[in-house]
Amino acid sequence: MKNILIALLVLGFSSNIQAQSDSLVTVLSKKEFKEAITKNEVQLVDVRTSAEFDQGAIDGAINIDYFEKDQFKESFEQLDKSKPIYIYCRSGNRSGKAAIILEELGFTKIYDLKGGYLDWTKE
């Protein structure tokens, strides 16, 4: 019985590791993110609320509110799935969840800002 439990735990951990490695999402540091959006023509999306967006955003970003679920998916459907998409939120939580949805929608090059806008605005 003990051996079966150990085997199940090992199998569970290995499948979780495999799922993580198959992800199409790359989390970038502030420096990496800044270099990428400066050097390349990218789709830059802020998934915070419009009120948060109005208080300040990364230059060139468009706002697609994560909490507006129906409009959220519809808005992303208008973007080019073959081009890289760079997303961020306030701290990285919403953009991480948004990235999963983007994978489901068929985006293949998804880049998420680690630490979100809070990290972006730190010196």
Catalytic one of 64, 89, 99, 110: 89
Which residue bears the tokens 């959220």?
72
Across the chain, which distance is largest between two alpha carbons, in Å? Answer: 58
Strands 43-46 and 85-88, bridge-based pairing: parallel
**Is 89 labeled as catalytic in the residue annotation?**
yes
Beta bridge partners of 110: 25, 85
Which residues are designated catalytic?
Answer: 89
